[in-house]
Structure 1
Amino acid sequence: MDLLNFMYSNTFSATTPTAVLGVMMVADKFEVASCMKYCSHLLRNLTMTTESALLYLDLPSNILVADEVQPFNRCCKTVSCSTFQGHNQVPRRCIESSSFGIEAVLSSGNLQIASEDAVFEFVLKWARMHYPKLEERREVWSSHLLHLIRFPCMTCRKLKKVVMCTDFDPKLASKLVFEALFYKAKAPYRQCSIAAEAGNVSYHRYVERHTSTDLLKLLSLNASSGFFLSAHCNMDHQSAFHCFGLFLGMQEKGSVSFAVDYELADRISPGEEYVSKYKGDYTFTSGKAVGYRNLFGVAWTPFLSEDSLFFINGILHLRAELRVRE
């Protein structure tokens, strides 16, 4: 009746998201494009939560791809992406999303999660939950999921897991990891052109998402054990303002421990040597880290300002050295 009233008397009584959504689906069935457009407009202006946005993205694909619904579709994607903001991992509520919803959300470059490794782990769990049969799961990976993962932006440790993962066809997994490692080995100024030349791979796979570790553009850490360098925006408890922190940790699990000498250094001019900021000794055990909550002794806002003295052409240059004691 709402559809008929809209068509013949230009009136519309539905006001709740559920009711409007129902009218839009009926309008799609009877190909009333003007009503679909009007419903799309109403839904965009009603309160939309991340849960409702993910629900909307589970609509039949023929509705979401309609031209009249595209502004609404883009709005759903934007709100859904906020689900990932400030999380180290993809929130659990996303695990119930359909393949269309997952594709719509993870195609974004603004997920604001810790790293691409977290995206890979989530999609792996999602695929195993929705496609328990290995043959079906491999087909879904190759047809719908692989282009969502930006393998060149993953860590080498996680790429090793990709090669060993049975969810992939072995040849396909080796190909993806080889492309990622080849990309990582090239100088940064050449990487964009290499990506553009990869005709059988979409360009966006080579573009880093905006993650919570964006400040760390380059890391060279030579150590035989599983150490990591982690950058964070911290709250300085003494001065009660946000600041830049840097930490060294060990990824090895179990009772293993390492005594090390460490040094953290930075440089603020291209022609200068790295200048030591902090150094000392520390014994690493599983899950432990050493570092400084306010590495530069300044608040977060002046640290990131346009006239900041800590960046060279927009890049923060840091160096961490470790020497494992005998």
Structure 2
Amino acid sequence: MVSAPVLRVKTIYINSVVLAANSPFFLKIFSNGMKESDQRHITLRIADSGTEETVMMEILSFMYTGKLTTTEPNLLLDILMAADKFEVLACMRHCNQLLTNLPMTRESALLYLDYPCSTSVAAEIRHLTDAAKEFLASKYKTVPNREKTHLFHLAGQDFFLIAFCQMHEQSKAYSFGLCVEKIEMPKGPTCLTVDFELAARTRSSGKFVTRFQDKHTGDDWMLGCADLFEVPWSTFITNDNLFIDGVLHLRADLRVGVVAQPGLET
């Protein structure tokens, strides 16, 4: 296996006592018996992405000053992950506090929910992910209140197509739902049989892809699916395959028939 070439070498002068006092990870490295304890030069190899170097320098600086120079959420999460790796617990707590104090936005909420982190970091920022879910639910709470977005007429009956945001009781996760509701006519209920299909256009195929099918017979109903795309809300609203130029294209196909009732003229 060929190792990656060393593109740049930076020498940093550090005090092993300071690092060991702030991190059990470095305490082990500098303890007697470890090969690094007798070395004056310790090599730390990091990716040449720029971000990893910035993160490492922030952590080293924190161990000396107790401060970080950034308040950018993505970088703070990266520092939190690295601080967890190097067991710099005070830095983890500081990152957590800075993130907690930042205003919640759509971008930061999605970042907290989708950030690929370790189990320990996930537990550390659990309050942030919970707050992000509440924020998104509140921000898009108008979705379930968009009453009867499209009115259409079939087989002598009026129908409404309704989009909504559904919260699942057990997981407390939110998802996108779509349904069709029949409006009761003044002359009284009419028994209908309905073949029902919901579809969404995808960017990858350019075509409408069936997401839900059902069949119902009755005189009073609302037919649809509470989790049309079977993904969490945060994944749904950032899915570029579904949102084409920011627009979600949906289609509802209904085949409606009136069921003859005994004793009534049809």
TM-score (norm 1): 0.31
TM-score (norm 2): 0.37
- The structure number with the bigger radius of gyration is 2
